[in-house]
Amino acid sequence: MGHNPLGQQTEYISRYAPHLLFPIARSESRKQLGIGSSLPFFGVDIWTGYELSWLDKSGKPVVAVAEFVIPCTSEFIIESKSFKLYLNSFNQTRFNSDEEVRSTIIDDLSRAAKADIGVTIFPLRGRAVTNYLADIAQPEAVLLDELDVVVDSYHPEPALLAIGTEQVEEVLVSHLLKTNCPVTGQPDWASIFIRYKGSKILHENLLRYLISFREHQDFHEHCVERIFCDLQRICKPESLSVYARYTRRGGLDINPFRASDSQATPDSIRLIRQ
């Protein structure tokens, strides 16, 4: 982490520089959760890049939005500032086609993360991006945020979680999740969706638990895995998925999804703060 560009004064390089990508091993954080090589969940991290640009073969700029899908089985995550610096290095670099840009990014990210990375590019000059960006989603879910709760803990408290006797299947959402960058301490804001089947998770307790992350410092992906593991261990649902949609910083948002079902997939949606 001593070479991590996050929190350091950085030169912004505008010509292609794949060496800027900074991988961070997932294993270090997972050890704290008692997770070894056998993962208790499936899932992906969906990143959206809103500030991708490069030069075409004539030197004319192209601007685009890109989506990157990183499997949770990858050995490494990509540190977000290094990702931003890497994408900035395309700004003054010429490429022959959109596909050349896409394949270049796939190769670089896959090499850094040590996994096969999915990349989709939506140039703003075409119609493809219109459908992707047109609608702000309002997913159907039970909103927890208006519950009248007393909060006195702002560090993760899994003991706050509790279940009742009723058997339910429901989707819950809170927009009050806040965590903090483990390097700079800057706040990270998210909406979190919890879909489960099993004994009813008491809503007031769950909301207090989610709020307890307010002063917690860790990367987005690790926070979601902690929440998933706590819910799985204490509430023991038959099925569970946890999906956090974080707000963007530096033109990137990160949206981790973890599920007990290998067939579960997250919706690629945009919320009002994204």
Catalytic residues: 181, 188
* CB-based contact 234:158 (threshold 8 Å): yes
Contact 252, 207 (CB under 8 A): no
CA torsion 214-216-218-223 (nearest 10°) is -60
Match 């047109």 to its residue by tokens.
134
**Beta-carbon contacts of residue 32 (< 8 Å; ≥ 6 apart):** none
Strands (DSSP E) found in the chain = 23-25, 42-55, 61-71, 76-78, 118-123, 142-143, 163-180, 187-201, 239-246, 252-259
> HEC string of 38-105?
CCCCEEEEEEEEEEEEEECCCCCEEEEEEEEEEECCCCEEECHHHHHHHHHCCCCCECCCHHHHHHHH
Q: Which two tokens stand for residue 171?
A: 């989707």
**Longest distance between any two alpha carbons in the chain, whole Å:** 66
Strands 142-143 and 163-180: parallel
Tell me how far apart the alpha carbons of residues 245 and 253 are, in angstroms, rounded to a whole number: 8
d(CA 47, CA 215): 23
Residue pair 52/85 in contact (Cβ under 8 Å)? The answer is: no
